[in-house]
Amino acid sequence: MDLPVASYGIAVAGGALIGLLLAVFGGGGSVLATPLLVYLVGVRDPHVAIGTAAAAVAVNALFGLATQARAGTVKWPCATVFGGAGLAGSIVGAQLAKQMDGQALLTWFGVAMAAVGISMLVPQKGLGDPGVRLTGALTLKLAPVGLVVGLAAGFFGIGGGFLIVPGLMAATGMTLTHAAASSLVSVVLFGSATSASYAASGMVDWPVFAALVAGGAAGVLASKPVVRLLAQRAVLGRRLFATLVLATAAYVIWRSLS
């Protein structure tokens, strides 16, 4: 796809914003990638936008996972079971989405965005068991939830962090910190599977992907001072971000229906 040079600059700037939001809020930021590509960068095919966004999200999540792994906050056994089960779901979800009309898919994407925004307005608790360990009973709870979340992530081409984090906490009782870190395993797997499915169908714009990833890396690096700034205003910041997501969702639904 031939795009103006300015479009790649917008992709870099948008990627930086998404990377910053992901680093600051831990989930929900990736859902802005597809609307950014469709309405600002100029990627006309919604399927190409979703495939490209999924690939970029997977790479950015991998950077974040490496950081969390060094910090020792990833619960690898639980994360592996959840992500492994969801991997199959994400492949099925991506195949279903590719068969849907692009405008109809954007409408449902807007609905998913609204769900993300609403979920971010729900107060989060940091209590939980920091020493949680995988057991047979936990495996039976984690796998079905992971499968369903993976299906949604693959269908909408989003990281799914806003679903993965509460899913991990509900199934295992782990803390919010460990759930947010462990969720990145699933985000990497779901995004990789989804983007691979779209890439096999020629639905990934690789130059735009590179611009998003470059911007995302810059956003992650710039997030540290923002995190410190919002340390005492975390609730306010999250509400403002949720409002942005909800407003974008309304715009996506309006544009796709009109």
Confidence of residue 226 (pLDDT cuts 50, 70, 90): confident
Q: What mean pLDDT is reported for the chain?
A: 85
- Model's pTM, two decimal places? 0.83
Which pLDDT score is estimated for 222? 81
Model pLDDT, residue 103:
85
Sorted by where each begins, the domain ranges of the chain are: 5-257
Question: Tens digit of pLDDT for each residue in 89-100?
Answer: 999 999 999 999
How far is Cα 255 from Cα 113, in angstroms, rounded to an integer? 14
Q: Amino acid identity of 66?
A: A
Percent of the chain with pLDDT over 90: 36
How high is the pLDDT of residue 17? 85
Packing angle, helices 102-121 and 136-156, rounded to 10: 130
Name the pLDDT band for 210 (thresholds 50, 70, 90): very high
> According to the model, what pLDDT value does residue 55 have?
92
- pLDDT for position 24: 66
Question: At a CB cut-off of 8 Å and minimum separation 6, what does 164 contact?
Answer: 27, 82, 86, 149, 179, 183, 186, 187
Residue range 130-188, pLDDT digits in tens? 888 888 888 998 999 899 888 988 888 776 666 787 788 878 888 877 888 888 899 89
